[in-house]
Homo-oligomer: A and B are copies of this chain.
Amino acid sequence: MKDDSEYEPLTSKTLPDRLKNLASVTSLIGKQSEEWKVTEVGDGNLNLVFVVHGKEASLIVKQALPYVRIVGDSWPLPLRRAFFEHETLTRQAARDPGSVPKIHYFNEKQAIIVMEMLSPHLILRKKLISGEYVKGLAKTLGNFCARTAFRGSDLSLPTSEKKKDTALFQGNVELMGITENLIFTDPYFDAEMNHHTEGLEPIIETLRSDVSLKREAQKMLLKFTANTETLLHGDLHSGSVMCTDSETKIIDPEFGFYGPIGFDIGMLISNFLMAYFSQPGHRSQENLEDYQDWILSVIEEIYSTFTSEFSNLWHNERHGILFPKSLFEGQGHSSEAALCDMLQHIWSDALGVCGIEMHRRILSLAHNADFEDISDLKIRSRLEARNLLMGRQLILERDQIKNISALQVLARKYNSETHL
């Protein structure tokens, strides 16, 4: 494959021929391309994904399509999102080594990334629906959020480098546009692509007639679009995490953008809360409580790991222009209170994003299997109602809910209530 040949989507049939001359590929899965087994496995919303099995190893080949896969070519989406995915992956690999798949090859014009095959990893969302436990899950995710956030910010990077990178990622405008519309705005009015489970109408009416709620959601949008605090994954839900029973990797950062530090951690917590609320639709009473308790404990540990690693980096890697040591330690003054304020700022933003994500996954275009897989619509809507109403409280009270314990208390409370 030449680097400058015209873009053409891969198929299982054309893939071997097109990749067989890449040394970075054949050195791993062998030169006998006729022996490769190729399967298209993409189940996401946007891209083609192939597994390529050679004799001794396997690879993932991911290719962007010039449109949104779940909608079709009526919704064009530029191929350069593969470029931003590649750029984000390389930065994440440097900032939190081992957290993301290794990249073997990248072709910008073809929008192709060839990367490490994660096996026997499965998408975390599926595991959460199945009721499986993953050892070390929270530690990996909490550290990932802390390290990528801190090391991509003006707390750490030389500010000229950070500004150059911020400028680069402003180019990921169409994917930021998806977030701006589908996440922050569409849930709060009758947008064209919205859909929801029958029976939720009274709750939706409650949300859309709450002017304070819409105001606060839009304040979060202002932060999303204008607070370029650090480079974020941008789509960090349980479908962007792959695990064995003891290893966790983060994938799919094509929504990478510079935004508020709390964004990734907020979206992540949100998706665990949705897993939590949806559990009664997936298992019998017997195993329910233990598994829900485990999910809440994962949320707690993600956040405690995040704060602990962020604090560690604050003390040991604070070389950027923000909160310089010359103003604190250099004058014999502690920077601990400044760190606490920063963590509080991150927490507040995270709760805001968390609540909004809880809304959009029920009301906007792209729903979660956690709820969608529940075929009994009465049960589904009852569980979704809890999720929607807790989301509302998080958005409105993000400065009053002081810590992760308070969040857990709230989750248990909504989990025990019936609103429909």
- List chain A positions with a Cβ less than 8 A from chain B: 153-154, 159-160, 163-164, 166-168, 170-171, 173, 176-177, 180-181, 185, 188-189, 191, 208-209, 211-212, 214-215, 218-219, 221-222, 225-229, 321-324, 326-328, 330-331, 333-335, 337-338, 341
Contact of A160 among B173, B321, B333 (CB under 8 A): B173
Q: When the two chains form their complex, are residues A170 and B166 in contact, meaning their CB atoms are under 8 A apart?
A: yes
* Residues of B with C-beta under 8 A to A337: 211-212, 215
Complex: chain B residue closest to A258, CB-CB? B226
Contacts of A341 in B (CB 8 A): 215, 219
A-B contact pairs, 8 of them (CB 8 A): A154-B222, A163-B176, A166-B167, A167-B167, A185-B324, A185-B327, A209-B333, A214-B338
Quick one: copies of this chain in the complex?
Answer: 2
Report if A159-B177 is in contact (Cβ < 8 Å); known contacts: A164-B170, A341-B215. Answer: yes
Q: When the two chains form their complex, are residues B226 and A154 in contact, meaning their CB atoms are under 8 A apart?
A: yes
Question: Given the interface contacts A166-B170, A338-B215, does A226 sit within 8 Å of B227 by beta carbon?
Answer: yes
B159 touches A163 (CB 8 A): no
Task: Give A148 Cβ to nearest chain B Cβ, in Å.
Answer: 16
Pick from B228, B322, B326, B338: contact of A228, CB below 8 A.
B228
Residues of B within 8 A of A170 (CB): 163-164, 166-167, 170
Cβ-defined contact, B322 with A222, below 8 A? yes
Chain B: CB-nearest residue to A181: B321
A226 in complex: contacting residue of B191, B208, B228, CB < 8 Å: B228
Tell me the minimal C-beta distance from A89 to chain B in angstroms: 21
Q: Output the residue of A160, A327, A330 with the most chain B CB within 10 A.
A: A327
Q: Are B159 and A167 in contact (CB under 8 A)?
A: no
Q: Is the CB of A322 within 8 A of B221?
A: yes
Smallest CB separation, A398 vs chain B (Å)? 14
Report the separation of the CA atoms of residues A322 and B185 in the bound assembly, to the nearest whole angstrom.
Answer: 9
**In the complex, A324 Cα to B153 Cα: how many Å?**
30
Interface centre among A208, A212, A322, A333 (most CB of B within 10 A): A322
C-alpha gap A177/B162 in the complex (Å)? 12
Query: Could you tell me the distance in whole angstroms from the C-beta of A405 to the nearest C-beta in chain B?
Result: 26
Q: Take A154-B226, A322-B222 as given contacts and tell me if A214 and B333 are in contact as well, using a CB distance cutoff of 8 Å.
A: yes
Closest to A213 in B: B327
Is B154's CB under 8 angstroms from A163's CB? Answer: no
In the complex, which residues of chain B have a beta carbon less than 8 angstroms from the beta carbon of A173? Answer: 159-160, 163-164
Q: Which residues of B contact A159 (CB under 8 A)?
A: 173, 176-177, 180, 225
Chain B residues in 8 Å Cβ range of A188: 327
Query: Given the known A-B contacts A163-B170, A219-B341, are A225 and B185 also in contact in the complex, defined by CB atoms under 8 Å?
Result: no
Ordered nearest first, which 7 A-B pairs have the shortest CB separation?
A167-B170, A167-B167, A163-B170, A215-B338, A189-B326, A214-B327, A226-B229
Contacts of A327 in B (CB 8 A): 185, 188-189, 214, 218
Taking a contact as CB atoms under 8 Å apart, the answer to whether A225 and B331 are in contact is: no
Min distance, Cβ A241 to any Cβ of chain B, angstroms? 27
How far is B221's CA from A324's CA once the two chains are assembled, in angstroms?
11
Contact of A321 among B185, B228, B335 (CB under 8 A): B185
